Amino acid sequence: MVDVQSFKDDRNVAIQKVGVKGLRYPITLLDKAEKYQHTTATVNLFADLPHDFKGTHMSRFIEIFEEYRSDLSMPNVIKMLKKLRIELNAQTTYTDIHFPYFIKKTAPVSEQTSIMNYECFYEASCSEKGHRFIAGVIVPVQTVCPCSKAISDGGAHNQRGLVTLQVSLGPFFWFEDLIRIVEESGSSELFTLLKREDEKFITEKAYMQPRFVEDVVREVYLKVDALHRFPWFSVEAENFESIHNHSAYAYVEKSDRSKIEPVSGEHGRLDQLESSCP
């Protein structure tokens, strides 16, 4: 059959990214407590296209993702991008993969269990110069306003916030450990199921540990930095204010992201990557 995508193009315009976007697909991840976890991801897969190629082969993106989706550990994501680059004769391939990650949590007093979901993601690229990989978690927390507590005769306003922690590829780590660092840095963590005795406990605990967004990002920063495991990381916090019609926001990062050295070269150091994945 005629392969129109392989025809030559004479417009002399190279394309930086072409591929599939918004692919919804079941995947399998490593799970700290259960060994494996099945979830559904939203996937973007791209490659560059030389100026003289008319089009890319869209089916190849799906074929190769299908091959790797049953084990999307971090080194396998890099292997997938490398294979995609070779198959498409591309200089660089890219992916970002977003998925809900589920953790069983126990209420602090009643000890009832329920499942909490967290948004997690990978962002990666592969070229002849090397590989780049960023993993991230988006964690909801509760914060009590220190200013409100200090100036009020009783009570203090509080709100739910989202904290995004991103880390570059380093030694082995679990999503669960990153999530725990964030949850310990707010006024209180969140739960899906709480009884009245749990609500009382959390309300009082949060009141005794007020946090601005600035406090939250600093607390997370210091905990992650103390691990000495990631050449780059960033922390972003957004509080959905309960007494304002806007959010409070703070951001901090460990180093200039653009200065991160590639994890490995063209021939790879996948032996190191193998010990660097949840």
User: All domains of the chain, ordered by start, with CATH?
Assistant: 14-273 (3.10.270.10)
What CA–CA distance (Å, rounded) separates 95 from 243? 39
pLDDT of residue 184: 97
Picking from 1-15, 92-106, 174-188, which range would have the lowest pLDDT averaged per residue?
1-15
pLDDT of residue 272: 38
pLDDT of residue 10: 66
DSSP element (H, E) containing 135: strand 130-144
> Which residue in the block uniquely carries the two structure tokens 């110069």?
129
Rounded percentage of the chain residues whose pLDDT exceeds 90: 78
pLDDT of residue 75: 86
pLDDT of residue 156: 95
Nearest to 83 by CA among 66, 96, 70: 66
Task: Please determine, for residue 270, whether its predicted confidence score (pLDDT) is greater than 50.
Answer: no
pLDDT averaged over every residue in the chain: 89
pLDDT of residue 55: 63
> Which residue in the block uniquely carries the two structure tokens 């490659």?
47
What CA–CA distance (Å, rounded) separates 49 from 5? 11
User: How confident is the model over 66-90, as pLDDT tens digits?
Assistant: 999 999 988 899 999 999 999 999 9
Q: Do residues 179 and 139 lie in contact, with contact meaning Cβ atoms separated by under 8 Å?
A: yes
Helix, strand or coil for residue 187? coil
pLDDT of residue 33: 95
Angle between helix axes 58-68 and 74-88 (nearest 10 degrees) is 150
What CA–CA distance (Å, rounded) separates 277 from 212? 32
What CA–CA distance (Å, rounded) separates 192 from 104? 10
What CA–CA distance (Å, rounded) separates 234 from 221? 8
User: How confident is the model over 11-34, as pLDDT tens digits?
Assistant: 778 899 999 999 999 999 999 999
pLDDT of residue 3: 54
Q: Do residues 120 and 175 lie in contact, with contact meaning Cβ atoms separated by under 8 Å?
A: yes
What residues contact residue 35 under an 8 Å CB cut-off, 6+ apart? none
pLDDT of residue 211: 97
Picking from 14-18, 53-57, 194-198, 259-263, which range would have the lowest pLDDT averaged per residue?
259-263
Task: Please determine, for residue 267, whether its predicted confidence score (pLDDT) is greater than 60.
Answer: no
Task: Please determine, for residue 151, whether its predicted confidence score (pLDDT) is greater than 50.
Answer: yes
Per the document, the length of the chain is 278
Read off the DSSP letter of residue 11. Answer: S
What CA–CA distance (Å, rounded) separates 212 from 147? 9
What CA–CA distance (Å, rounded) separates 206 from 158? 9
pLDDT of residue 273: 40
User: How confident is the model over 87-142, as pLDDT tens digits?
Assistant: 999 999 999 999 999 999 999 999 999 999 999 999 999 998 999 999 999 999 99
DSSP element (H, E) containing 221: helix 213-225
pLDDT of residue 115: 98
Q: Do residues 239 and 142 lie in contact, with contact meaning Cβ atoms separated by under 8 Å?
A: no
Task: Please determine, for residue 39, whether its predicted confidence score (pLDDT) is greater than 80.
Answer: yes
